[in-house]
Chain A
Amino acid sequence: MSKKLAPPKSRGPSVPAKPTSSSKAPSPALVPTGKAPDGAPPLDRAEALRLYRQMLLIRRFEERAQQMYVEGKIGGFLHLYIGQEAIACGIMSLLHKDDYFIGAYRDHGYTLARGADPKPLMAELMGRSSGISRGKGGSMHFYDIPNGNFGGDGIVGGHIPIAAGMGYAIRLRGSEQCVVCFFGDGAINEGAFHEAMNVASLWDLPIVFVVENNMYGMGTSVERASAVTSLHERGAAYDMAHLPCDGMDILKVRNIFADAFARARQEKKPTFVEVITYRYRGHSMSDPAKYRSKEEVEKWQEKDPIARLGVFLLAKKFAKPANLEAIDKDVNLEVDDCIKFAEESPWPPPEYMYEDIYVKTETLNWRAVERDPAWERSLTDDRVPVIYPAHVSAGKG
């Protein structure tokens, strides 16, 4: 895999030829050693069809969400992932059950790709009590902790240091887990990005950083926002392995990320991957996307990741056109069920307002808070799932 690390538009070596510093401790990020397996496990028929269906589910789910938004059934912000599905599906297909990930607010794709039931997601979009966040998060805040999904963050770049903290916890425990941190090209000019990237490399944290470069941070193109437009090259500043990836091809996504995960698990080292992609829709539903041309959008739609996987399925004789049509029909029915489920779900009762703020805790003087509903409701409600692995080896790293 290491030979694939060459940058597309070279402005210098993409990965340092050797560690640039020998004096600092712990050791700096290294060139990939080639110890990683050569790419992802080949896609067998079942897995290829599963991924095709999953990508299509994300597409159809979001198209219907868009429709529900227009009908006024979904409010607030709605950031659609349409066009970027291969990234979430490719990456999640390589994660282990106990791995963690955290991402930004364009989060429908991550959550579906990680295997969440889509019904509570549609209910969340409609603000119902059966929503995955009990109607208190909305589109930007899908959390699915039993699946290691930590959201769903609405502050651009603000979650990147949190990913570093998860990686630090893994090193403290000495477990074999890793962390994936997704963010958009808009996030990489935030200070939080630099602060977190620096320590991820300095402390050898098992994190895969994924910048989904969809060419625009809201309406400002990468060229107008970043002095370096080949974004992965910023990894060099932190002595971190870094490379670009075609985000419109799930096979390529899987190959690149299999290597990155191996580096995280085996060498405890981070990787910075720039996934080149495109969002077909505007930044959110309120964005008519006047800053880009129709031709540009059409050019990208020709590379559509779902159509591309479909071509692969047909070429490999994993499916016939009729099979793909049947999958689409099945997915549409599933989305219909989601909408039915959401619309039939009750609105959250008023007491939900006061729940899920504080945790019941023995260290508190309860008399002081007995008339404070935020504390009083914390008594009866604790939905934190038991996902924390037992402590392994403190201090060893």
Chain B
Amino acid sequence: MREALNQAMREEMRRDPNVFLIGEEVGHYQGAYKITSGLVQEFGDWRVRDTPIAEEMIAGVAVGAAFVGMRPIAEMMTFNFSMLALDTMVNHAAKYRYMSGGQIRCPMVLRGPSGAAAQVAAQHSQSLESYFAHVPGLVVIMPSTPKDAKGLLKAAIRDDNPVVFMENEVLYNIKGEVPDEDYTIPIGLSEVKRTGNHVTIVAWSRMCYHALLAAELLAKEGIECEVVDPRTIRPLDEAPIFDSVRKTNHCVIVEEAWPQASVGAYISDRVQRECFDHLDAPVMRVNAPDVPMPYSKVLEKLYVPQPEKIVDTVRQVLR
């Protein structure tokens, strides 16, 4: 995964001199999570800009440079710290085009790791995608595989809108096939990651893996799950989700975030509205508990939605 993200940025920086990278420790430290490894050596200090710890400035510099035609990639060391840049994204990146009557565009990417890590407690283990997905004017992407990550990050860099690209810290070490050729994956394209006839599981980012693991466990009982990965949270490619639910007549939505006012809540609303006549049971959701992340590893494991919990929920929905 690390290599896929690194390749995406390296290739786009080679392709377009307007692309540059800015963030904390992205250069000489080689990235806090080593995603930007080697880039400063190839592109120099101005195109791979180490910054002081000042997230509002990092996002603001990216927005300002984007307004005048550059294509910045701003790294948040983790998305937990992006709350300090939230004003910049919500009130500036997402709004200038509208408030100017279409005179401005903001082709930038705000990227970094998101989600629970390993025992780093409440301030460093959050899934904050609904903060960004709530805002018209922003695009929000959350890839699950190295192939998706590379193709979607390249598309995000080429896109003319402000894109929030949320990686997952736990997925940084996973391995997966990545095509050799130059490719992009369209923004707003859901993918069916596993086909099945009995229940549709909608899950993205790390939860897509947990859904696939749950599907394997359930397959041993003869329950065939279809796993749909939206990959892009906003705009949401709903059709493959609806098609799947109309086939399976059951739907479970899995997300690492809290249950209230979440992306899963929105998808649930859309599915119940569009597939009402096809549903044999209410849409069920699997979320983190509605509490901050605890430190202890025993509690942390309980907190993150595990495959076993997804299995239980699928059984409930099929009962």
Contact = CB atoms under 8 A, between A and B. Distances in A.
Contact of A368 (B91, B101, B235): B235
Contacts of A141: 99-100
B104 A143 contact: yes
Given A158-B91, A169-B70, A368-B238, A143 B56 contact: no
Given A199-B54, A372-B235, A384 B87 contact: no
The 6 closest A-B pairs by CB, nearest first: A165-B64, A161-B60, A388-B69, A134-B101, A143-B100, A195-B57
Interface stretch (B186-194, B275-283, B303-311): B186-194
Contact of A357 (B17, B98, B159, B189): B98
Interface in B102-154: 102-105, 107, 136-137, 139
B69 A155 contact: no
Interface string B63-91: 11111111010000000000000011001
A361 B102 contact: no
Which bucket holds chain B's interface residue count?
35 or more
A162 B69 contact: no
B152 to A, nearest CB: 9
A84 B188 CA distance: 48
A365 B188 contact: yes
Contacts of B66: 165
Contacts of B52: 195, 198-199, 202
Nearest to B91: A155
B167 to A, nearest CB: 18
Nearest to A205: B61
Contacts of B43: 395
B236 interface: yes
A362 B52 CA distance: 35
Contacts of A381: 102
B161 interface: yes
A394 interface: yes
A161 B56 contact: yes
A23 to B, nearest CB: 16
Contacts, number: 210
Given A164-B64, A363-B158, A132 B101 contact: yes
B47 interface: yes
Interface string A198-240: 1100110000000000000000000000000000000000000
Contacts of B239: 367-368
Which bucket holds chain A's interface residue count?
35 or more
A143 B103 contact: yes
B56 A166 contact: no
Interface stretch (A146-154, A283-291, A322-330): A146-154
B68 A166 contact: yes
Contact of B161 (A150, A195, A358): A358
Nearest to B60: A161
A11 interface: no
B104 A384 contact: yes
B189 A365 contact: yes
A365 B20 contact: no
A257 interface: no
A245 to B, nearest CB: 25
